[in-house]
Amino acid sequence: MWLIALLVPLLPTIFMVSSHYCGKLSILCHQALAWALRLVGGGPCLKSTHVFVFSNCTHGKGDSVLETFDLYAETHQSLCIGPHIGEILDDVVKSVRPLWVLELGMHCGYSSGRLLRLLPHGGRLIAVVSRFLHSSAEAIPTLHSFLESDQGTSDGINLVLMDHDSQQYLLDLLALEREELLCPSGCTVLLNRGTKEPMISEESWITPEEESIPTASKQKSQTGGFANLHLYFAF
């Protein structure tokens, strides 16, 4: 499972990993070449991050993989969200116990790893790699096929982690709502890496200061019908 979690950034735009069918990996889009070309550009180097983590972690041990990512981030530029935000995300996952998680904006696989290790039996993670322009907007209408593969037992996506282009957050929330993909009692976590102001005003989010232990029953809706918990973290 960890191998998959760590290799996924090397794969094209959308993939799904089940928490127990470790080998199951679905690739929907065929933009690998464009993605690979972008990867060659500057910024933190995914390849060297993964070489470091694979060489130094204890394979098969989720916590060791995360610690090794954190160790790398101490001395190198990194896209990891880090242990502080990571632990808050852990609390959200433990509280919501999501069966379906959507990660919009997967970077180096760190957040995916954090999410995967805490999913309950049968839980699934769908991650959309953020490196293509508009990849989230293109991916959202295709997500039904994943949920339908659950033989109609799914109530929708229970947890959404947005860590892509913050200008896209509101549009993507509305699209998820329009497509009726969200479980009403679910939770959305938005990360702002500080590059651009999100189009959704910060006052509408419950911040960690207000709500250090999030629970899925807290509601604060910005987008009308999207009545689930929104958590916002800037870093």
Residues that bind ligand NAG (CB under 6 A): 51-52, 55-56
Residue 36 or 51: the one with the smaller Cβ distance to ligand NAG is 51
Residue 27 or 51: the one with the smaller Cβ distance to ligand NAG is 51
Residue 67 or 211: the one with the smaller Cβ distance to ligand NAG is 67
The amino acid sitting at 56 is N
Shortest distance (Å) from residue 52 CB to ligand NAG: 4
Shortest distance (Å) from residue 78 CB to ligand NAG: 13
Strand order in 157-162's β-sheet? Answer: 14-18, 124-129, 100-106, 157-162, 182-192, 229-234
Shortest distance (Å) from residue 76 CB to ligand NAG: 10
Shortest distance (Å) from residue 56 CB to ligand NAG: 4
Residue nearest to ligand NAG (CB): 55
Residue 110 or 169: the one with the smaller Cβ distance to ligand NAG is 110
